[in-house]
């Protein structure tokens, strides 16, 4: 009994700390009234949405859910539109105002970097590129995941549809011939800014697409929202890549993906309906584990 009370006290203390961190985040990034100016950054905002949803699940306090939904709205209306210092205006998808509100992810989402993207005629500068805006594939997949989590919690299929439309836009623009993917694209997805491929981007895409496909299995899926082709193409790219890495971000991402998809069913599929004949082999042969040397290895 004493151990239970200690454990419960620790849990409550941790929960209070997380609540304070997320309240500070909302204030400092302009999510709540009276805070700073709105500062949206796709990567951290994706994790913030999931954190607010988990706080809602742990406490049943609707204020946390409200913050998650407000953050989704802010991200779409900020990173789904052109920058204030850009001559272009409106939704980066090119859709009109009303259509853009209905489909805010149809043109992808900006990273949220401090500097404008590199112009087509500008030479590439690796140091400057880190601070320049554009679109990252691995940021987009994180937002797809966040939207799927919102759908799971609220049951509102519009969040699932926005995630699928983002997946389609990203795949259409980042994947190109010979089974390769660009690492960074321009804001309007018209040209690559960094042509090299992220080591784990194909696997990230495969897992994320499969999660979305499975999440929509109880919905009426029109042919326009089916991701079977995208899943098949990313599975093909995955067969030609290697996963071992010493990069901390790559290790963390691979570990999170491995944990997020355990357990899988007896035949090696992700939970939910079968989405690709390649999934079993990829799940079994390319499962990421971490060795004592800090490298992601292939665990059969």
* Residues near 40 by beta carbon (within 8 Å), at least 6 away in sequence: 29, 74, 75, 78, 79, 112
**Which tokens hold the place of 51?**
């954190």
Q: Is 295 exposed, middle or buried (0-12, 13-18, 19+ CB in 10 A)?
A: middle
Are 185 and 175 in contact by the 8 Å Cβ rule? The answer is no
**Which tokens hold the place of 276?**
């690709």
pTM of the model: 0.84
Q: Which helix (H) or strand (E) holds 298?
A: strand 296-299
If you write DSSP's letter for every residue of 160-199 in order, what string do you get?
A: HHHHHHHHHHHHHHHEETTTEE-SEE-TTSSSEEE-SPPT
* Paired residues of 135 in beta bridges: 185
Q: What is the CA radius of gyration of the chain?
A: 20
**Which tokens hold the place of 216?**
């929509």
CB atoms within 10 A of CB 199: 20
Q: Which residues of the chain have pLDDT under 50?
A: 5, 263-300
For residue range 219-234, list pLDDT tens digits in order.
877 888 999 999 999 9
Residue 35 has a pLDDT of 67
Among candidate residues 271, 264, 273, 229, the one with its CA nearest the CA of residue 287: 264
Q: Is the dihedral of CA 45, 208, 109, 101 positive or negative?
A: negative
DSSP 113: -
Residue 250 has a pLDDT of 72
* Paired residues of 81 in beta bridges: 91
Among candidate residues 162, 197, 163, the one with its CA nearest the CA of residue 178: 197
Query: CA-CA distance, 256 to 261, in Å (whole number)?
Result: 9
């Amino acid at each position: 009994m004493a151990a239970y009370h200690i454990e419960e006290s620790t849990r409550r203390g941790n929960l209070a700390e997380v609540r304070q961190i997320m309240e500070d985040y909302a204030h400092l990034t302009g999510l709540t009234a009276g805070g700073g100016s709105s500062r949206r950054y796709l990567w951290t905002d994706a994790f913030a949405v999931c954190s607010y949803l988990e706080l809602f699940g742990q406490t049943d306090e609707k204020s946390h859910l409200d913050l998650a939904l407000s953050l989704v709205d802010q991200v779409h209306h900020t990173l789904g539109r052109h920058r204030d210092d850009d001559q272009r205006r409106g939704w980066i998808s090119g859709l009109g105002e009303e259509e853009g509100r209905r489909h805010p992810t149809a043109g992808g989402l900006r990273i949220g970097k401090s500097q404008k993207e590199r112009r087509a005629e500008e030479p590439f500068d690796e140091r400057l590129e880190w601070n320049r805006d554009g679109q990252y594939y691995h940021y987009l997949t994180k937002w797809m995941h966040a939207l799927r989590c919102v759908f799971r919690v609220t049951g509102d299929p519009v969040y699932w549809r926005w995630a699928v439309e983002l997946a389609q836009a990203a795949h259409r623009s980042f994947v190109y011939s010979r089974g390769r993917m660009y690492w960074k694209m321009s804001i309007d997805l018209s040209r690559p800014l960094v042509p090299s491929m992220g080591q784990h981007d194909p696997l990230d895409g495969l897992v994320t697409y499969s999660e979305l496909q499975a999440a929509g299995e109880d919905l009426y899926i029109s042919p326009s929202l089916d991701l079977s082709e995208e899943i098949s193409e990313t599975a093909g790219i995955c067969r030609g890549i290697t996963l071992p890495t010493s990069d901390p971000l790559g290790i963390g991402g691979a570990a999170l993906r491995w944990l997020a998809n355990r357990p899988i069913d007896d035949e090696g599929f992700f939970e939910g309906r079968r989405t690709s004949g390649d999934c079993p082999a990829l799940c079994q042969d390319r499962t990421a584990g971490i060795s004592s040397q800090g490298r992601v290895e292939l665990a059969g």
